[in-house]
Amino acid sequence: MHLLIVEDEEKLGNYLRKGLVESGFSVDVARDGQSGLAFAQTGNYDALILDVMLPGLNGFEVLQEVRRSSKMPILVLTARDDVEDRVRGLELGADDYLAKPFAFMELLARVRALLRRGPMHEATRFTIGDLQLDTTTRRTTRGGKRLDLTAKEFALLSLLLRRQGQVLSRAVLADQVWGMNFDSETNVVDVAVRRLRSKIDDPFDVKLLHTVRGMGYVMELRVDER
């Protein structure tokens, strides 16, 4: 599942992305209303988590514009807990409303509830060759055998499978899985890929996770290896 968070508080935005990524989601974060609207209109997201108090366009303005062309579930976050604000958000098309401060587990439960009843744009099960991953049960198998992955390995594999056939740079992987800017001095991405490969590829004849020199990594079933 691919989520968009529009939240100008950097600390909160990073906290939410980290928790949601560890819960099996792919997450993008925008810091202001204008860029959030651009993300929402050009990306393929399963749900939007939208703060009201944003620089530039406020959350209500973003909500109104998004609703002109999209039916994706929208959860509005705000420090305001006035009835009028809640009513306004719902009338403009929000599916749910959560006042700050809130517990992350409540937000996660609300997002999952919205996804269950909202329009889906992305599958929860991914297959390539004899490798299967289910983001709902968090179960991964290859050749019918269960693979024991850490939370980061699962998040990394989920991202690679969602975008199989696309070469993902180390910067993209670092941002989406670890929520950090890529530093060429660190090898955290390469180490994680190596560990993941030792579980999903090394014991098998057909390799699925490939290195594209100078560019990054790609998950694909190559013709010469089928």
pLDDT in tens, 34-70: 999 999 987 778 999 999 999 989 999 999 999 988 8
Does 134 share its domain with 109?
A: no
Does 111 share its domain with 141?
A: no
Specify whether the CB–CB gap between 186 and 170 falls below 8 A.
no
Q: What Rg do the C-alpha atoms of the chain give, in angstroms?
A: 19
Does 147 share its domain with 72?
A: no
Does 80 share its domain with 163?
A: no
Beta bridge partners of 28: 4
Tokens of 112: 């999952």
Does 143 share its domain with 184?
A: yes
Does 12 share its domain with 92?
A: yes
Does 11 share its domain with 110?
A: yes
Which domain-ending residue is among 117, 139, 173? 117
CATH assignment of the domain containing 10: 3.40.50.2300
**pLDDT tens-digit map of 118-150:** 554 455 788 999 999 988 788 999 999 999 999
Residue range(s) defining the domain that contains residue 28? 2-117
Instruction: Please state, in angstroms and rounded to a whole number, the distance separating the CA atoms of residues 51 and 6.
Output: 6
CATH assignment of the domain containing 176: 1.10.10.10
pLDDT recorded at residue 81: 63
Specify whether the CB–CB gap between 7 and 77 falls below 8 A.
yes
CA angle 43, 31, 52 (to 5 degrees): 95
Instruction: Please state, in angstroms and rounded to a whole number, the distance separating the CA atoms of residues 73 and 90.
Output: 12
Which domain-ending residue is among 117, 149, 174? 117
Task: Give me the helices (H) in 96-177, please.
Answer: 104-117, 151-162, 170-173
Instruction: Please state, in angstroms and rounded to a whole number, the distance separating the CA atoms of residues 30 and 38.
Output: 9
Does 94 share its domain with 33?
A: yes
Provide φ and ψ at 169, rounded to 5°.
Answer: -70, 165
CA 47 to chain centroid: 10
Provide φ and ψ at 27, rounded to 5°.
Answer: -135, 135
Residue 221 has pLDDT above 50, yes or no: yes
**pLDDT tens-digit map of 144-182:** 999 999 988 998 998 899 888 889 998 888 877 877 665
* Domain count across the chain: 2
Does 15 share its domain with 80?
A: yes
CB-based contacts of 142, cutoff 8 Å, min separation 6? 130, 131, 132, 200, 204
Does 165 share its domain with 110?
A: no
Which domain-ending residue is among 83, 100, 117? 117
Does 49 share its domain with 92?
A: yes
pTM comes to: 0.58
